[in-house]
Chains A and B, each alone.
Chain A
Amino acid sequence: MNDKVHIFDKPQNVRRVLWALVAVCIVTIGADFFYHRHIVHPWEGVWGFYAIYGFVACVVLVLVAKELRKLLMRAEDYYDRDG
């Protein structure tokens, strides 16, 4: 392919994005040390609750969905065939 090199064609740029994400994660969870949230429910007050819940929720979501494929996945033309 002879077109120009785009921003994410360079692996170091992808790495930069990932490191930026890590930095943002550290900053936001670090904020929990000195920012006192007002809370409605005691769970909200647990240190890093939203961060940990978000991370775990997504990992669980993907792992369960991956397992569900074994149960649910059929060929693309499944409904187009007789059977």
Chain B
Amino acid sequence: MNRIILKNSVKEIKKSYRRFLSLLLISMLGVGFFAGVKATTPDMQKTIDAYFDKEKLFDVKVVSTLGLTNEDVEKVKEIDGISDVYGIYSKDVFVNVDDVDIVVKVIELTSNINNVKLIEGRLPKEKNECVVEHQMIARENIKIGDNITIKEELEENEESSFYERDLVVVGTVDSPLFISNDKGTSTLGSGKLSYYLYTPKSNINSDIYTEIYAAAQGAKEMDTTSKEYSAYIDDIIDRVDKIKEERQDARYNSLVGEATEKLDDAEKELNDKKAEGEKEIADAEKKIKNGEKELVDGQKDLADAKEEANTEINNATSQLTVATQTFESSLATFNFNKEQAEIGFREAESKKTELQNNYNQVIAGLNEVNSQYDQVVAELANPLLPTDQKIVLEETKAVLEAKRQELNGTASQIQAGIAQIDMSVVAGRQELANGENAIAQAQAEISNGWNELNSKKAEAEAEFAKAEKEIADAKKKLAEGKQELEDAKKEFTEKVTDAENKLLDARQKLTDIEEAKWYIQDRSSNSGYDSYVSDAQNIEKLGDVFPVLFFVIAILISLTSMTRMIEEQRIELGTMKALGYSNASICLKYVIYALVATVIGSIFGMLVGFNLIPSIIISMYQMMYPSITEAVVEFNVKYAVLGLGIMAVCTIGATLYSCIKELVSMPAMLMRPKPPKSGKRVFLEKVPFIWNRLGFTEKVTIRNMFRYKKRFLMTIIGIMGCTALILTGFSIKDSISNLMNLQYDNVYNYDGMLILNSSLRENEIDDLITKIEEKSEITKVAKTYIVANEATSEKNDYKVDVQVIVTQNKEEFSDFIKLNDYKTLEEQTLNDSEVFITEKAAKLLNISAGDSVELTDKDGNIFEAKVGKVVENYVYHYVYMTSNLYEKIYGEKYSTNILYIKTNNLSETEENILNEALLKDSKIASLTSTRYLKNLLSETLQALNKVVYVLIVSAGLLAFVVLYNLANVNISERIRELATIKVLGFYDKEVYDYVTKEIILLTFIGIILGLFAGYGLSGFILKTCETEPLIFKVVSLPISYVISSGITIIFTAIVNFMTFFVLKKVDMIESLKSVE
């Protein structure tokens, strides 16, 4: 029997394959979408769990305000439930890329915990190597092999935390510590951490850790997003909390003790140095005194020597003068004598001349005598000469001889006289010469004496001069030395006081050291983890709405299908009953039919849904969470059973209900045609004005619609649902893009934000502004101070991260950020007594104008401010105030750290050029362009947009299946009627119109209702999806209405087109058959 029923079912399936198929498709869509979207959240959770397990992400993290030590690590390790503990050092630094300082976290590379995933290149081995976040390569102008330099903000005397600060990028990684593009905050730069990089431990110059990461025993087996895991980790955190106090104190004491010791050492050293310095000064002073004495001695010596020398010189001079005088007198005497002598000489000369003359006369007489003699001799010699004559001649000769004798005597006398004169002259001359010689000698002696004296004098003078100079030099040197000593003394005192002050300061500071504070955190401290979890939950919320709608529609459709099918087959039902089959057996056929369709459809749906939808959605979220790349897509038994179960229960329930409803009747009743539903007049007929104008088919259509209320409702609900879903999809998309437009057009008016270097003084900032204002592209500049705070209120326990924006110029502030009342949208101006808070923050804190808000700064100080206005804003949270109010509230002087700029409607390239030029100024630490932010935000929101496309496509498919199914039901239900009008001679087109007019009308009604429903649904879904920092204003662009309607219309058209062919095939023989 069962075999036959089974066979019958199979035959039925073959016969009515279209109905079967549509039932199958609708189950597939309903279950697939439901299961797929529902499974997305667990899949996302499993994905992150698998990722964390794989990379061994910590379970418990400890950070301390005073750093952590090895001892801390050991103590944490001892805690029950903790398996592995690692101390890690990390530090936020600047990395300069393209003249922009980017805030980057440098993390010590470890294995065994928080493992990085290598994307490109290799891991660093040397201490001058690093791996950077993969995104950094993608977004910044850096590539593997490049050198980057890290720049720390070091205090005086602070050592760098890294041995190597010029690092080679050897690879790129993804870290499980930062799964989101948003990496949290930093104390550097603009306060936003941009990237991270890892460097080996060997490059870390620190004996403390900044973080302790611990793995919990057995936590890996638990799902990180599960309550079980949270509870387990909370227990461990409680246990860590127990050792907290002790460790904090230990750290504080060791730090203070160490520092005190150091300070004591320093003090001792200072005192030593001080004594040493003082001794040195004393020595120097002594030396100077000695020098002074020596100098005085030297001066005295010199004076003595001078005196002595002068006396000596004077003596010598007087002696010499006397000598000279003596010499001069003797010279005069000599000269007189010489003159006398000369006169004597001249007299002697004249005597001599006289004598000579006499002599010459004598000689001449002699000569005459001689010649006479000779003549005589000669005459004598003449032998012929008479002897008388000879005697006369002899006598004459004798006389002559006597004369000659006489003359010779006289000549000799004269000659002797001459000789005597000559001799005396010579002697005189000799004497004179001797005298002259003596004179000359004396003169020489005297001049030598003078010379000697002079040279000696000169020498002495030179020596004195030298000595004097030496003394002067010594004096100068001494003076210099004195000055130097004075300076040194001053410096020394200064240095000593300085050092002493410093020591005092240090001691003061030591007492200022705050107690160590431990922060024990779980994985939610991981930047992005919470947002990932909440994103997953958002999808879950989405999954509560969308697939349920899908499901409801699918169930409604399959319900109608089955009911209709059973109604069509009442005769068979009756026959079976008449044949004696039990009600259960009769129902079985239909139950099998429905079950097969549902189960096959559902299984297909699940296979597709479980695989496709989560992977699509997860891959879309990858844009926001780039490091989560391996999607875990699982067959989710819970939702499989739930989906299939609900679907099957509903369809089978509907089948059984219809069967039983029919089977209560007697077989005979069943075999007779079911009394046709009576036609009814519709209210419209009471309006003849319209009714009479309607064409014939219109009338039929309208009547039909009211006659088959179930089908009518089904169609409308189906189409309404689909249109609503599609419109919702588009509305979400519109609202998201509108969000940016609202934020960037209605709120942000500025074009760029310049983040200034923190060390600038007010006048430097003014200079910078003047310089910036000179640029023609820039129309306006505003000094602003921005700081991140946490806002709370008395109304609830909510904590909101807000940016406090402080302006100096409240009048012109609207040129940069428009402060519009969130309700009236009227522009507001800040005042000096109240702050303005943005809409979402106010809502979260449950406060409104007139209430007060508490702002907590990063040091934990709490300030209270009165809220003046709640202002329009869509992204993030802000608190606005004037600088006067800021100073009043925070008790701190206002200082500019941000400049807002407005530009002249620049194109993107122009803007880039301007920004580049601006960033060349070292005073500007970084620059954020509004355009860039807008693009970034739109990129993030794109992910959600794509999810929306999934919705749209699915809703479209659903629309198609619904319409197809309805068309089929419509035709099969009216097959007799259609065959009849065909017999009556209706053209194909007319038959088509006869049927589809109704569908078209219903489609339009459905679309219109669907557009309303869609608007409502969008609001609901957007509220559901709204994440903390956002406000979604439901916006559906007219075009979205058009497109949503269009898609439904297109599907209707396709279905109608298919109907046309189905109708063409309707066999007129059907009209001859008895009513079944």
Q: Do A and B come from one complex?
A: no
